[in-house]
Structures are given as structure tokens and as C-alpha cells.
Chains A and B, each alone.
Chain A
């Protein structure tokens, strides 16, 4: 392989400088009984062309959204990623840098993180954002941990209309965090504020999703008010590309806003790597998990950026840290910043309008064709649930034979919805593709 740079002569000179005869002498530091006395049982090395051929063959056995018109969403979406995102991420300085521990070496990435934090604060109406979390599920667990420390309460409330994977991740961490998790059922596709108020009593936080997992718009200001009434922290799990049209969580009283960033700037990539975002009101700044870039000046008074408030973090605070997070998703968050900068406020607004208009058109056409919407009286954004009159998995098989993936089978997560599909519309879908979907599902 060609990733090593030492020649035979180099090796000999280096061994001589060290004062030993062979590399094996270096390995004698490891007690002999625990050394592996054989070669690793791995397939032989591949040359670069062979490697590309092998991976191309594996990739060809996947049906990507370029080969099948996709209405699949449920948390990951086929939004357009602009070329400028690829161009920026291909810069080796961004791609191959480590976490900016030495700020004078890393002003570019620190400024980019600061700009990303600003974009997330603008979208969510919050005062502070971290540099990113792993994804839209783990930031929910982070929010619960923060809320427990901030309130001294151990109950967390999740709405049933919150993405099932997000709920599952919170429940996985709950025993370690010392949390009791309570779920509040949806009523006809959205959450009832009165029911939520009752459940939120003595809770550290309540997480609801806007738009929720079914694509329905929750009465978010009423939910936040109900949570605040109960003295718990209101946490909104939001889709960044909806926030050109929908009100910012900070404007209706949420303490934290979190979400999956993939919609803004990341390819689907079979589920990752993507980025999660976590933003909060200023009173929680010293309880935030993860990296934060802050503005300062250098010894000559010139503006610069550093990782700041590091006494929250594991490498300083160790067992008393606000989180164990170290590696985050900076490169994916940078993609988000570039995409949001490419869109600008007007582009973000148009993107939302297109998703909304296309999904409304699809709902109308499907209803006209005799299919029943699961939550007909609810307003939706880019995604909605529809009954297909037979097991959803059969409808998926038939549609795929016609070159369309019609959506996600909701029965995988919710009882009574075995005949329902969750259909997602992005700006990449066209009227003709929607017409084709209707034709295929109504057949």
C-alpha cells in the first residue's frame, strides 16, 4: 500500500538512531504471552483500482434515491445538496483538521463554528448553540441530561408523536442518567396541551416535535405554555428547513431547541454521518454539552475565536463534566452552514413553500383518488400519513416495481397503522412525480 512514507534505508537509519537492530525489538515492550503469534486473518490487500471496483460493486447493490423516485422521509430527507457544499467540504484544510485545540492554527474552522452557532440561534430563536451533537436522537438525550441537572428533577416527558428513534435513544440512556421516561399519547395526530400540562408536573423537561413525526403541525405555542405552567423545560425538536415558515421555538417560550440537521446540507448516506443541533436560552450556557466557539481578541486587540467555556467539558472537568462528548460532527455542521448561507432567508422561505405546496397537492390528489388521510383535519408541512387500503408493505413492493418508493410503513412503530404510509415531499419532487405516485397507490 502507498500510505507509508519510509524507505528501507530510512528504517535502517532510524533503528540505528534509536539504538536497536530491528522493529521487533520495539514490540518486545508487549509481554510475549499477549502478543498475537500469527498474521491477522484478513483478506489480501486491494490496490486502489481493485478497491474502487469492489466498492462500486457493493454500492450498485443499493437502490439509491437517484434510481427510485423517493417519498421516504421519517427523519432523513432527499433534499437537494448544492454543489458549493461539496466544494467547501472537499477542502483538505477543513476535511483533515482535528478539533481546534490550538486556536491560532484553526481560526478558519473556529470562525465557521461561530457562524454555524449564529445560524442555528437565528433559526431557533435561541441565544446559544453548541458546535453540534452526533445526530437528532442523541441531542434529545443531551437535552434530558441538561434538564435533569438544571431542575434537579428526574422525570422526562416525551410525546408519542416524537420520532420513535429519538424516544428509543432517550430510553436507552435513561438508566445511566437516572431518568424516568413518560410518554404522552397523540390525539388524532397531535398532542393535547391539557394532557401535556398534567404529564409535565414534576418533570425536568418535555420534548415535542414540530412538525411531528406524522408531519402534522403541533399547537406548539400552546404545548410550550403548558410545559412552562408545570415548571418543566420545554424542548422543541425541529426541522431546520421548516424554520423559514414556522415560528422559532425561542419565540414561543421554549427553553431549548434541538433537531436533526441532515435536511440542511447533508446527504442521506444511509443514516449518517449527520449532525444534531442543540440550542438554548442564555441561562443554560454553562450547562451546555459539547464544544462552543467564542469570540475574543488577540494580544494586539484583533478579533479571533477560541473554544470557550471549556470548564464544562470532560478534558477539564472529568467526572463532573456536563457531558462526555468530544468528537462531534463539525464537518457536517459546516455543510449545514454552507447550505443555509446558499439559501439565505429568501431561499429558505421558498424551499419551505415548495415542500408545503407539493405536499398539499399530493394530499389533495390522493384524497381525490379515494385514499384516506390518517389525520385529515390536521395541517401538515412536508410529510403526511395516508392509508393505502392494504398492508403498507405490499403497497411499497408494488410501487417499487413501478420505480417509486412511496414512503415509510408507519405500522413499524404505531399500532393500528399497518395500512398507513408516511409520505415525504422535498423540493426535488415534481408535480409529475406526485401524479405518478397517486396513480401507483390508487391502482
Chain B
């Protein structure tokens, strides 16, 4: 399909703009643009067709089942899109006076109270823009807290299990901490013997995802908490998998001091092809003074922004955070009320149902029930038929499903990480399980079909190595090489060779 730039034609345009009757204005010559940016020149009908064609070549939760592990791809209620478009939210300037933004401030205050109740920690900042920014914010809170106690130089290490998302170690580096890795035991829990030897006066804290990326709730969580708190260290809860436990258990109750939420996972902010997200954090009382400013506070019946926090770490993002995300997540939680527990229960039920249907055809590395997601290993298919997890993933596309997360967590070979979420119907789960079982049969009977999959997408398997070796990351206009031509030339050469 052509790029929007390749459809461009000089003299066409879609926009119409007001032209007030004023003398023409120009900027000083030395600052003036020498040649105009080559933006697309299309009429509105062509523009609409172009982006409709791109949408047609994109797969969302609206299109079909999207069991991408640890991403919680649940249905995004349409009422949330309606309320976020109310002019009082959509067209509100972030520097509007407080008396003229009471509705926005109240919504944020209410969301803070709700999030505090869900995780059992009293103080919330909504400001971080995504989970990984929540992580970095949480680590900067640890720095500020220990610096304040005179332990800043001493406590320089953060402990992370080998099942962690890559964001955790990356955030540790960006926060100026040293990473200490800890192993997973044969039941899929944090290896407590390994852990005990790695926690001490040099430890600032732990970052833990619980349930882990294996979809398992850590059975040793009480002992883990004891180890860290006895060492005077803090506990950070990565909320990527919070969808498993809402209303069932609260990280604050089992010892965590800092929690981040992923509003785009648990609380249904649509993921938009990569974002936006929201990564609020909740903390225990002793960490509240360090939270980002402004804080949203209530005074009697009015709400205001409090900048007077002498110990604050500062700001991690502009204004109060991604407000539109707050509107959607607030609306989502209000649709459930205390029945959020049912949301998590059904997420766990759906995952266990799929696990039960698939664990004989694919290997389950841990013989346990799972929480909201589970990990399978495709190593048997690889060993017996030379079929990799990548082949299985690509073949799922032909059956109309988005593949699960693959090759993660790193400790499971040929991993497939499957998270169905609570919003899927049994028929959908069955169709997916049937497809996975059929693919396992195909691996034995007609492996070449899998190796060449996908067969029905707009493109076949893509050459990712070429994209790295000869990076083309923008359109080059007149100088742009035609990769299609290059491909055809290569095919011709291959044919000649044959």
C-alpha cells in the first residue's frame, strides 16, 4: 500500500482555515524557513480513505481475541469514549483557575481515593504517564526517602527477580541504582535462599510483579516482605498484573510500600496502538511527602492543587498527568463498583480454563493453577517437529487471533504467555483453544504450513534483520529506494540461480 506521501500531489489540500483581514505578517529573515516541510498534500476524501485503509490493516481488541500476556487486552467500553469527549473535559485548559476546574479536580481526587482503596495504600499521585514512568517515579521516591534518612549513599541496590519485565531493570539504571538479580525456584516463586543472600544494609528495595509474569502468585510473599523490611528496605509492586487480584488481595496489605497502576491495562484505557497509558503510584504514609507536585487535595467541599510540598521529588510529567486517561479509568471503575472483584475472578477463571484445555498439547512449565495469565512452552514442538513458538504465533494469525506474548518470560524456553482477560466469551476461548490444538497437530502433519505462516495477512513474514542492518525510518521522497523493486530484483536473481 502507498504511503500518504506517495499519494501527495502539489496543489491539493484538505484544510480550510480562517484568514482574518490583517496586514500580512512575516518573521525576520534570519529565522525564516528556507523551504517548506514536505507534508502530504491530499484532499479530505483521499485522506479519509488513506487512514481507513490503514485501520483495515490493523488488528485491535475490537477486531478479535488479543491474548497478549501481561498486556491485559480487555474490552474498552464505548461509554468511556463518550464521556471523555464532553467539552468540559476535552476542551479544558490545564492552567484554568481552580474555581473553574472543580469537576476535573474532583474526578482526580475521587480516582485517587478509589486507587488507594484498591491497593490498600493511603497516598496516590496520578502524574506518571505510563507504568515504566511510575517505576522510575517510585525509584526516585526511594532515593529521596533514603537520602532524607542519611542512608542515600549506603543503599544503592535494587533486587529484581529474573521473571521481571525489561522495564524494571531499565528503570533501575535510569534511577541511578545497581541491579541485583534473584532466581526463580522450581515452583515458580522467588528463590528465597538466593534472595536471603542478596538483601542487606546496601539494599534500597525490591521490585516485584505479583502475580509474576509466569501468571503465578508468589507463595512466599510474606517471607519476602519480612526479609526486606527487616533489612530496612522498601518494597515496590509492579502493577502490570493487578487485573488478577482486584478486590481479592491488596499489595499494601501484604507489605508493599509503593505500587504503580497501569490504567491502560487493569482499568481499560484503550491502548491506541502503543499508548496513551497512565501509571499512577500509591504509597505508604512515610513516602507521601516525596510524591510529585501538584497534589490534588480536598478542603471541605472544594478541591485544589497543592504545590507546597517541601520534600517533593518535583514533577515527572507536565501538569497533573494524562487527564483523559483518568476520565476513562474513573468511568470504568464506577461501572463496576465493589464488583471489581468479579472482574478479577473471571479473569482468573478464563485463564485457568484455557490452561486446562492447552496444557496437554503444550507443556506447562509449572504444574499449578494460574492467576489471570499463564505461560506454556513450545519446546516439545520444536524438539519433535522443528516448529518454533514464532511459527505457532504466526500461524495463529491465519485463524484470526492475535498471537500471545512470545519468548517471554526469558526463563521459559519457547515461551507463549497467554492472558485472555475477563471480557471474553467462552465461545472465543474455545475457538482459540481449538486453533492452538489444531496447530499442534499441523506441526506434526504439515509443518511447512506453519513455517510459511501467516498466509492471510496483508504481508507475509517480514525481514526484521534487514530493517536493522539498513535502517529506513522515514520516507526519502525523490531519493527513496523502492524496496518492492529491490525484492523483485532479488527474486529474479534467486530464480536465475535456480
Contact = CB atoms under 8 A, between A and B. Distances in A.
B245 A297 contact: no
A100 B274 contact: yes
Given A76-B94, A176-B176, A327-B276, A299 B484 contact: no
Q: How large is the interface on A (under 10, 10 to 19, 20 to 34, 35 or more residues)?
A: 35 or more
A34 B254 contact: yes
Interface in B86-124: 86-97, 100-104, 106-107, 114, 117-118, 120
A100 B486 contact: no
B460 A176 contact: no
B147 to A, nearest CB: 8
Given A111-B1, A327-B276, A42 B140 contact: no
Contacts of A160: none
B129 A271 contact: no
Nearest to B353: A14
Contacts of A328: 130, 274-275
Interface string A73-92: 01110101010100110111
A383 interface: no
Nearest to B303: A61
Interface in B305-324: 313-324
Q: Which of B21, B104, B425 has the most CB of A within 10 A?
A: B104
Interface string A225-240: 0000000000000000
Interface in A121-180: 121-123, 127-129, 131-132, 134-138, 145, 165-166, 168-169, 171-173, 175-178
A199 interface: no
A248 interface: yes
Contact of B14 (A131, A135, A301, A344): A344
A45 B339 contact: yes
A134 B130 contact: yes
B130 A42 contact: no
A121 to B, nearest CB: 5
Contacts of A332: 272, 275-276
B425 A6 contact: yes
A378 to B, nearest CB: 11
Interface stretch (B25-33, B194-202, B378-386, B435-443): B25-33
Contact of A66 (B91, B171, B322): B91
A99 B325 CA distance: 17
A313 B464 CA distance: 15
Interface string B58-99: 111111001010010111110101110011111111111100
A325 B473 CA distance: 19
B234 interface: no
Interface in A47-68: 48, 51-52, 54-68
Interface stretch (A16-24, A201-209, A368-376): A16-24
A342 B222 CA distance: 57
A443 interface: no
A217 B28 contact: yes
A65 B91 contact: yes
Interface residues of B, number: 210
A175 B88 CA distance: 38
Interface in A75-119: 75-76, 78, 80, 82, 84, 87-88, 90-109, 111-115, 117-119
B317 A13 contact: no
A332 B74 CA distance: 20
B92 to A, nearest CB: 5
A272 to B, nearest CB: 4
A178 to B, nearest CB: 6
B483 interface: yes
A423 interface: no
A297 B487 contact: yes
A36 B38 contact: no
B12 interface: yes
A344 B40 contact: yes
Contact of B60 (A31, A36, A96): A96
Contacts of A34: 221-222, 249, 253-254
A428 B195 CA distance: 60
Contacts of B150: none
A301 B462 contact: no
A248 B37 contact: yes
29 contacts: A27-B248, A42-B340, A46-B334, A46-B335, A48-B335, A51-B334, A55-B89, A58-B104, A97-B60, A98-B71, A104-B454, A122-B38, A165-B315, A172-B140, A270-B89, A270-B323, A271-B318, A271-B321, A296-B462, A301-B483, A313-B166, A314-B169, A319-B172, A321-B173, A327-B275, A329-B272, A329-B274, A338-B47, A344-B42
Given A61-B102, A93-B62, A327-B264, 14 more contacts: A5-B425, A39-B247, A42-B337, A66-B91, A95-B81, A97-B58, A108-B54, A168-B314, A251-B34, A308-B467, A324-B132, A331-B272, A396-B97, A431-B20
Q: Which 7 A-B pairs have the closest CB atoms?
A: A301-B487, A331-B272, A59-B88, A271-B319, A92-B62, A271-B94, A330-B274
